[in-house]
């Protein structure tokens, strides 16, 4: 599993670096994020959810039935959109109410 960070979109806020539980993300000399150890990413998706500009894509590999798809998230208040981009250009969005999903 791994992520891809679009340096053109990155605004250097450092939130992805701060939230990654494996300390896998760093900022370069231009304050743009990059993943130092892509093979160590275990796909917790925390960095996706923190990025304010949707600069991070998570690869959905064949082991997850993704076959080359990529995923990112968009926060809309209490709602969180999981947006999946397919290799053929198709897009699917799954919206989760975070207040409901965090109920125990």
Contact residues for ligand SF4 (CB under 6 A)? 3, 5, 10-16, 19-20, 22, 24-25, 33, 35, 41-47, 50-53, 55-56
Q: CB atoms < 10 A from the CB of 33, how many?
A: 26
Shortest distance in whole angstroms from residue 50 CB to ligand SF4: 5
| Distance between CA atoms of residues 99 and 58, nearest Å | 24
Residue 12 or residue 87: which is nearer to ligand SF4 going by CB?
Answer: 12
Distance (Å, rounded) from C-alpha 32 to C-alpha 91?
27
Q: Which is nearer to ligand SF4, 62 or 88 (CB)?
A: 62
Lookup result for tokens 């670096």? 17
């Amino acid at each position: 599993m791994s992520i891809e960070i679009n340096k053109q979109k990155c605004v250097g806020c450092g939130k992805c670096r701060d939230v990654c539980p494996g300390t896998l993300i760093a900022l370069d000399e231009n304050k743009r994020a990059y993943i130092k150890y892509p093979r160590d990413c275990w796909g917790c998706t925390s960095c996706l959810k923190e990025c304010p500009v949707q600069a991070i894509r998570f690869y959905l590999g064949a082991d997850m039935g993704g076959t080359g798809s990529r995923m990112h998230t968009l926060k809309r208040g209490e709602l969180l959109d999981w947006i999946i981009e397919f290799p053929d250009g198709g897009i699917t969005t799954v919206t989760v109410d975070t207040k409901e999903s965090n109920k125990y």
